[in-house]
Amino acid sequence: MALFGKKKSDDTAEAPAEDAQQPVADPAKAAPFFDRAGTVHETSNYEYAVTLWLQGLARDPTSVPGLEGLADSAQALIATRNKFGPTKDQEKAARDIKAPAPVRRLILALLNWSTRPLDVSAGLKALEAAGKIPGVDTAKCAYWIGQRVLSAAARDPKIKKDALVRMMNVLKDAGAFDLAVRAGEAALGLDPSDRQLDAEVRNLSAQATMSTGGYEHTGEEGGFRANIRDAEAQRALEEQDRIVKTEDVVERVVANAKADYESRPDDPAAIRKYARALLERGTPADEKTAHDLLIGAYERTKEYAFRQAAGDIKLRQARRKLALLRAAAESGDAQAKDQFAKAARAVLKMEAEEYADRVKNYPTDLALKFELGKRYFELGRLEDAIEMFQAARREPKRRAECLAYLGEAFLRLGWQTEAIDTLREALAAHTNEQDEIGRGLRYALMSALEGQARESRDLAAAEEAAKIASGIAVEQLSFRDIREKRTVLQGLVKELRAESAA
C-alpha cells in the first residue's frame, strides 16, 4: 500500500530548487490565515477568502477545518459568480504561494476542485495530491476529500467505469477502504462482468471489515478508525455541500448545524456553520438567533470576525426595510419619497459607522477602506473619503476606481488642478475609455476642465472639455446631460476665443 508520507522520487525531481525543503504541517503559522479567511468570508469577499484558506492550507495541509472553510467560501463564490472554476487572480495567487513542490501541487489541485466541486476528475487530482506529500500525515484530509468526490461521482449520470476504478485505487492507497469499496461497487454496477474487479472489491470489503476504528487513530495499526459509514451522516455531508437546497434539505442542514454547535459551543467553526445555516433559512427569528449567537461568541472570544458577521445581519435587515420604502417611493407618493430619502441617509450612516469600526480593527485591509471611502463620499464627507481612497488605491484591482472617486471628490471640493491630474491618471489606469466607467471618467474630466476654463479663462482647457463632450455625444447621445454640455462648452469656447482675440 502507498502510505501517506512515503516519499516519491518523482516529487523531488519535479520540485524547483527553491521548493526542495521538506514539507511540514505548522498549525500555528496557518492559524492567522484561517482566521483572516473566516473574517473575509463574512464580508462576502469570497474570492479573496478562498485564497486565504489556500495560504493557510499551504502551511498546514493536514487541517480539515481549513478544507471545510475553503469549501464554504468556494461554494459561496460559485453562487455569487454563477460560474464554476477559479478566477485568473486566484490562479496567480495560488501559483505564487511559497511552499514545497508537493504542497504547491496540492494547493493548485484544491483550488481547481473547490471551484468545480462536481468535477470528479478535479476531485481525484486533489485526492491524489494529498497522498503525495512526504513526511506529512494528510490522511484525515484525504478522507474528507474522498467523501465528497465519491458523493459527486454518485450524482454524475455520465460517470465512467475507469474513473470509478481510479477512485477506488486512490482511496485504497489512502487506507480509506470503506470509501474504496463504494467506488468499486459503483464501477461493478457499470460492468458486472468484470471478474477481476469483483474479486478486488471483495478483498477491499474484507479489509474494510478488519478496520475496526476511526480515522482519529490514523498512523496506528488498522488505519482509519471511526469512518463515517452511517447513511444519515453521509447524507448530511452531501446536503451541506449542495449549492441549491430544497426546503426540507435546508431544515436538516439547520438541525445538523445546531446539533454540531451544541456539542462544541466554543468551537469557532461550529458557531460559523450554525450561523450560516440559520441565515440561509432566513426567517426573522433565524436572523435574531444568528445575531445573538455571533455577538455572544464575540463577547466570549473577542474575535472580531463574529462582531463583523453580526453587523452584516443588522445591515442586511436595514437594507431590506429600505427596499420596501423604495418601492413605495417609486409609486409617486411625495410622503413616501421623503421617508425613503431620510431612511436611505440613515442606512448610509449606519454603513459608514460599521465600516469605520472594521477599518479600526483591520487597519491594513484596503478593501474595507475602499468601502468606507464610498460611504463617506455618498455622505458628502469628501476629505474623509479622500483619505480612504488614497490608502485603498495601493490595491491594484481597485486603483482605477479609487482614482475615479478621488477625482470626483477633488472636483466637488473645487480643486480643479488636483481633479484634472487625478482623472487623467484614472483614465490611464482604466484602459477602456468607451465603456460605462470610461465615459464616466471622461465626463468628470470634462467637468473639471470646464471649471478650470471658467475660473482661469483658459481657452485650451475649454477646447479640451468641448472635444471630450463631442466624443461622448458621438458614442452615446443619451449619456447623462451630454447634449446640453456639448452646447454649453461650444459656447464657452467661442466666448474665450473672442476674449483672446480682443
Write out pLDDT tens, residues 32-53: 898 888 888 888 888 999 999 9
Among 335, 369, 387, identify where a domain stops: 335
Continuous segment of H or E residues that includes residue 497: helix 482-501
Residues 205 and 274 in one domain: no
pLDDT at 502: 73
On whether residue 455 sits in a domain, the answer given is no
Would 117 be classed as within a structural domain?
Answer: yes
Is 96 inside any structural domain? yes
Q: Grid coordinates in use for 221?
A: 495499526
Give the DSSP per-residue string, 136-167. Answer: ---HHHHHHHHHHHHHHHHT-TT--HHHHHHH
* CATH value at residue 330: 1.25.40
Asked, for residue 447, whether it belongs to a domain, the answer is no
- Based on the fold, state whether residues 177 and 253 are members of the same structural domain: no
Domains contained in the chain, number: 2
Torsion of CA 301, 303, 306, 308, to 10 degrees: 150
pLDDT, one tens digit per residue, over 249-280 is 778 889 998 998 999 898 887 898 899 889 88
24 with 65, same domain: the answer is: yes
Instruction: Report residues of the chain scoring pLDDT below 50.
Output: 1-20, 212-231, 242-244
Helix pair 334-361, 304-329: axis angle to 10 deg: 170
- Report DSSP letters for 230-296, one per residue: -HHHHHHHHHHH-SS--HHHHHHHHHHHHHHHHHSTT-HHHHHHHHHHHHHH--HHHHHHHHHHHHH
Same domain for 76 and 168?
yes
Q: Specify whether 58 is located in the same domain as 160.
A: yes
Same domain, 169 and 288: no
**pTM to 2 decimal places:** 0.55
Look at residue 340 and tell me if it is in a domain: no
346 inside domain:
no
- Asked which of 312, 335, 358 is the last residue of a domain, the reply is 335
34 with 94, same domain?
yes
SS3 of residue 6 by DSSP: coil
In a domain, 470, yes or no: no
The pLDDT value given to residue 10: 39
488 part of a folded domain: no
Tell whether 20 and 137 lie within a shared domain. Answer: yes
Q: Which domain holds residue 270?
A: 245-335
Q: Is the same domain home to 25 and 147? A: yes
Report the C-alpha gap between 274 and 242 in whole angstroms: 16
> Do residues 45 and 192 both lie within one domain?
yes
Q: 331 and 186, same structural domain?
A: no
DSSP code at position 85? S
Type of residue at 111: L
CB 321 within 8 A of CB 306: no
Give phi and psi for 245, each to the nearest 5.
-115, 140
Write the burial class of residue 321 (CB in 10 Å: 0-12 exposed, 13-18 middle, 19+ buried).
exposed
Direct distance between the N- and C-terminal alpha carbons of the chain, in angstroms, rounded to an integer: 96
Instruction: Name, in order, each residue with C-beta under 8 angstroms of 216's C-beta and a sequence gap of 6 or more.
Output: 225, 226
Question: Is 171 found in the same domain as 88?
Answer: yes
Nearest to 73 by CA among 89, 104, 50, 42: 50
The answer to whether 378 and 355 are in contact (CB under 8 A) is: no
- pLDDT for the residue numbered 208: 67
Contact 30, 66 (CB under 8 A): yes
Which among 180, 199, 233 is the end of a domain? 233
